[in-house]
């Protein structure tokens, strides 16, 4: 899935055109597969089959299923092996030219159009780690991306993870994600051994990177998990398998920020769906919980990929239940609920003198539910200037504001991490 992806999801980072007039959003060079009747069902069925049989969620393969290793070798040849080499790090503390510690100099555009510049500092000595999983951005024409660091991964890490370097040390492994090329093939050709191996390869590759991080680099530090779209989906699976049932590791969970992945909870509860022991956040400064949401300008359509349980992106993490649960919405600007101002931060892509632009007092958000959907309702602030950055449903109403999930509230999310770190430290040393 690509959210800077989902099923045919357009991967990109959106940039404002200029301070006075944002203009059209800019995109990574990739195209969306044509929408065809039944495409969502076929891909959803494919992913549910993969993750529900012998993938990260399922307990084992049914009779007659092709074992992962055999499927992998059939698709790629025996010479390739997930996790056979050391982790390639997209972001790692102390690494030269680390995209997650790039310049944070920011042009702040106030409501009346006044400008100022701020320059936040990287917290190189932070006692907290962030583990970031990027969404589908690979432009490779293979089923799984390789581990080469390319422009798409670098620009996405800057757009989504760089700002968190003010509150944590950011780690981001390269992983063999399910590419747009693979999604196009699944849409046109349906389920295949190669497609099954492709999804399992993505998860196993990420899991290998996380386990190497724990074994060699973490040193017992508390962790903030961050991911979006495919990254969020894989983190749902990873947290469920490796963290949720591990009390010692769970005690080091500061926060999980995983929008655009359809985290679910049991109706009437803050947990009991995707996770048994990790609740959705419900108060400012809460630690050990999940912030998740999908942003829309209004109620998601019936065929939406996000905000509705048991469909769309839910399939990527093996979540097929459509009754008795609902998709989580935690407002990043007001964890306890209600409408609040969203602090949007966007990379400028060289369009301004600073690499970042901030639009305070432009959008507001409130978690809403209705018609079987739950979503972060994003609207412009009353009286906001029309000439400032404007969000658009660029992929149609079924996608909502999915590409902007992180950036529309990036300032709030960084503040949420800082508050949770304070709570975690007080609890750990109190």
Whether 5 contacts 136, CB under 8 Å:
yes
pLDDT at 389: 67
pLDDT tens-digit series, residues 81-124: 333 348 999 999 999 999 999 999 999 988 676 889 999 999 99
- Mean pLDDT in residue range 146-156: 94
Of 345 and 182, more confident: 345
Q: How far is CA 115 from CA 120, 362, 420, in A?
A: 16, 14, 31
- Residue 155 burial (C-beta neighbours within 10 Å; 0-12, 13-18, 19+): buried
| pLDDT in the model for residue 18 | 38
Average pLDDT over residues 348-367: 93
Q: What is the pLDDT confidence band of residue 34, given thresholds at 50, 70 and 90?
A: very low
Q: What is the pLDDT of residue 267?
A: 83
CB pairs under 8 A, 24+ apart, for 307-311? Answer: 307/262, 307/373, 307/374, 307/375, 307/400, 308/262, 308/372, 308/373, 309/262, 309/264, 309/372, 311/40, 311/44
Predicted pLDDT at 413: 98
pLDDT at position 54 is 25
Structure confidence at residue 208 as a pLDDT band (50, 70, 90): very high
Least confident of 9-18, 151-160, 245-254, 274-283: 9-18
CA–CA distance from 286 to each of 200, 230, 278, 415 (Å)?
33, 25, 12, 12
Asked whether residue 1 is assigned to any structural domain, the reply reads no
Whether the pLDDT of residue 36 is over 80: the answer is no
Residue 63: count of CB within 10 angstroms of its CB:
4
Query: Among 55-59, 341-345, 356-360, 396-400, whose mean pLDDT is lowest?
Result: 55-59
Mean pLDDT confidence for 20-24: 33
Range among 157-166, 171-180, 228-237 with highest mean pLDDT value: 157-166
pLDDT at 196 over 70: no
26 found inside a domain: no
Span 287-340, pLDDT tens digits? 999 999 999 999 999 999 899 998 888 877 777 777 788 999 999 999 999 999
pTM for the model: 0.83
The pLDDT value recorded for residue 8 is: 30
Tell whether 141 is covered by a domain.
yes
Residue 16, in any domain of the structure: no
Closest CA to 197 of 86, 6, 53, 310: 53
Give the tokens for residue 69.
């290793």
Q: Which pLDDT does position 243 carry in this prediction?
A: 96
pLDDT digit string, tens, across residues 377-426: 999 998 776 567 689 998 899 999 999 999 999 999 999 999 999 999 99
Q: Taking a C-beta distance cutoff of 8 angstroms, is the pair 304, 401 a contact?
A: no
Q: How far is CA 309 from CA 21, 85, 264, in A?
A: 37, 37, 7
| In contact, 305 and 7? CB cutoff 8 Å | yes
pLDDT attached to residue 394: 87
Phi-psi category of 416—alpha, beta or left, where left has phi over 0 and alpha has psi -120 to 50? alpha
Overall domain count for the chain:
1
Structural domain containing residue 81? 39-58+68-429
- For residues 300 and 2, the model is more confident at 300
Half-sphere exposure of 39 (CA within 13 A, CB side): 18
pLDDT bracket for residue 186 (50, 70, 90) = low
User: Average pLDDT over the chain, rounded to whole?
Assistant: 80
Residue 234 lies in a domain: yes
- In whole angstroms, give the CA distance from residue 185 to residue 180: 9
| Mean pLDDT across 343-358 | 94
Q: Looking at residue 47, what is its pLDDT?
A: 40
pLDDT of residue 199: 77
pLDDT band at 188 (very low <50, low <70, confident <90, very high): low
**What pLDDT shows up at residue 173?**
98
262 within some domain = yes
CA distances from 121 to 12, 166, 357, 400, 419 (A): 26, 6, 16, 33, 17
Q: How far is CA 307 from CA 11, 12, 75, 94, 334, in A?
A: 19, 20, 33, 38, 18
User: Is residue 2 situated within a structural domain?
Assistant: no
Does 205 fall in a domain?
yes
């Amino acid at each position: 899935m690509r959210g800077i992806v989902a099923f045919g999801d357009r991967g990109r980072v959106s940039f404002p055109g200029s301070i006075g007039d944002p203009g059209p959003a800019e995109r990574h060079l990739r195209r969306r597969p044509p929408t065809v009747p039944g495409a969502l069902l076929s891909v959803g069925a494919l992913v549910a089959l993969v993750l529900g049989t012998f993938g990260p969620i399922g307990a084992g393969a049914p009779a007659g299923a092709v074992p992962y290793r055999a499927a992998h070798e059939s698709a790629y040849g025996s010479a390739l092996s997930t996790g056979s080499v050391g982790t390639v790090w997209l972001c790692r503390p102390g690494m030269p030219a680390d995209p997650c510690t790039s310049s944070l100099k920011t042009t702040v555009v106030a409501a009346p159009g006044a400008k100022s510049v701020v320059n936040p500092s990287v917290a190189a000595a932070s006692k907290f780690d962030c583990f970031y999983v990027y969404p589908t951005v690979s432009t490779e024409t293979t089923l799984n991306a390789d581990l080469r660091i390319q422009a798409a991964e670098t620009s996405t890490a800057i757009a989504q993870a760089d700002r968190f370097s003010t509150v944590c040390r950011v780690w981001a492994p390269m992983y063999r994600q399910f590419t747009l090329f693979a999604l196009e093939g699944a849409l046109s050709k349906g389920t295949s051994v190669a497609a099954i191996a492709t999804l399992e390869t993505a998860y196993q590759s990420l899991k290998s990177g996380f386990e190497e991080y724990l074994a060699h680099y973490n040193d017992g530090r508390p962790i903030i998990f961050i991911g979006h779209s495919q990254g969020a989906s894989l983190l749902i699976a990873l947290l469920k398998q490796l963290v949720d049932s591990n009390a010692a590791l769970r005690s080091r969970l500061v926060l999980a920020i995983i929008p655009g992945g359809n985290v679910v909870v049991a109706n009437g509860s803050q947990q009991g769906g995707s996770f048994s022991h990790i609740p959705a956040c419900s108060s400012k400064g809460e630690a050990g919980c999940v912030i998740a949401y999908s942003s829309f300008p209004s109620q998601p359509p019936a065929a939406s990929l996000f905000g509705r349980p048991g469909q769309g992106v839910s399939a990527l993490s093996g979540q097929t239940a459509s009754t008795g649960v609902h998709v989580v919405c935690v407002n990043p600007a007001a964890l306890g609920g209600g409408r609040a101002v969203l602090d949007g931060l966007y990379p400028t892509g060289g369009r301004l003198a600073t690499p970042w632009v901030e639009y305070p007092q432009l959008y507001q958000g409130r978690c809403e539910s209705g018609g079987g959907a739950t979503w972060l309702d994003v609207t412009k602030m009353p009286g906001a200037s029309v000439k400032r950055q404007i969000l658009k449903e660029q992929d149609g109403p079924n996608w909502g504001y999915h590409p902007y999930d992180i950036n529309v509230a990036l300032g709030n999310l960084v503040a949420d991490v800082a508050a949770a770190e304070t709570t975690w430290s007080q609890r750990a040393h109190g």
